[in-house]
Amino acid sequence: MRILLAEDEHVLADQIKSVLKSEGRVVDIAGDGVEAQFLGETEPYDLIILDIGLPQRDGLTVLKSWRANGIETPVLILTARDGWSDRVDGLDAGGDDYLTKPFHMPELSARIRAMIRRQSGRANPVFCKDNVSFDSRNNQVMVGGMPASLTSQEIAVLSYLFHNSGRLVSRTELSEHIYQYDGDRDSNTIAVFVNRLRKKLGNDLIETVRGRGYVIKAAA
């Protein structure tokens, strides 16, 4: 899952990025409103964290512009403690949730998980298909009741396919959601990750649609 973090406080931005990275997310940081607006319009994010108080263009203006241009990515707004009117305006402008600064990182992580889950139309954080389960709260993968050991990139691929289960996902789409902006994107490596996942989790979980991509069918 790939996240845009629009936050001009460098220390806070780096802190959030490292926490999200440790949870298997890929994070692009935008330090001002103009860059945030551009990235949000041109890159396919799964979620956007948007500070309302951004230099050059404020967060509310950026959010309104995204929504006016049909960008439907879920947006979590960050506001100052006394910014209750920013929260009202932000939610009314198309924000999906908010968090007041300062906040605890586990709360940010939990809100992000809930928003990503809702986006894929789910309430249950645990995905199951045949004898494989994936717990999106802690990235724990079990096969036949035994924990499986996966690399962070394998988890990123598996998580994206589970969150989009029932839908065909192309290699290009997968690579756009597991690598960051300017990252070393190579859709050929996706096939390598899928092969490793099959070795660890069995051949039936991820189906290949020749020349088009991959699908996990009907996860529970």
In terms of CB distance, is 24 or 83 closer to Ca ion? 83
Please tell me whether residue 51 binds Ca ion under the rule CB under 5 A.
yes
Please tell me whether residue 53 binds Ca ion under the rule CB under 5 A.
yes
Tell me the closest approach of the beta carbon of residue 56 to Ca ion, in angstroms. 11
In terms of CB distance, is 51 or 86 closer to Ca ion? 51
In terms of CB distance, is 53 or 202 closer to Ca ion? 53
Please tell me whether residue 99 binds Ca ion under the rule CB under 5 A.
no
Applying CB under 5 A, among 3, 8, 27, 173 the residue interacting with Ca ion is 8
In terms of CB distance, is 46 or 86 closer to Ca ion? 86
From 8-16, 42-50, 69-77, 139-147, give the range in contact with Ca ion by CB under 5 A: 8-16
SS (H, E, C) the chain: CEEEEECCCHHHHHHHHHHHHHCCCEEEEECCHHHHHHHHHHCCCCEEEEECCCCCCCHHHHHHHHHHCCCCCCEEEEECCCCHHHHHHHHHCCCCEEEECCCCHHHHHHHHHHHHHHHCCCCCCEEEECCEEEECCCCEEEECCEEECCCHHHHHHHHHHHHCCCCCECHHHHHHHHCCCCCCCCHHHHHHHHHHHHHHHCCCCCEEECCCEEECCCCC
Which residues from 153-172 bind Ca ion, rule CB under 5 A? none
In terms of CB distance, is 48 or 216 closer to Ca ion? 48
Which residues from 10-49 bind Ca ion, rule CB under 5 A? none
Please tell me whether residue 94 binds Ca ion under the rule CB under 5 A.
no
From 3-11, 91-99, 187-195, 202-210, give the range in contact with Ca ion by CB under 5 A: 3-11
Q: What is the distance between the terminal CA atoms of the chain, rounded to a whole angstrom?
A: 20
Chain residues that interact with Ca ion, rule: CB under 5 A: 8, 51, 53
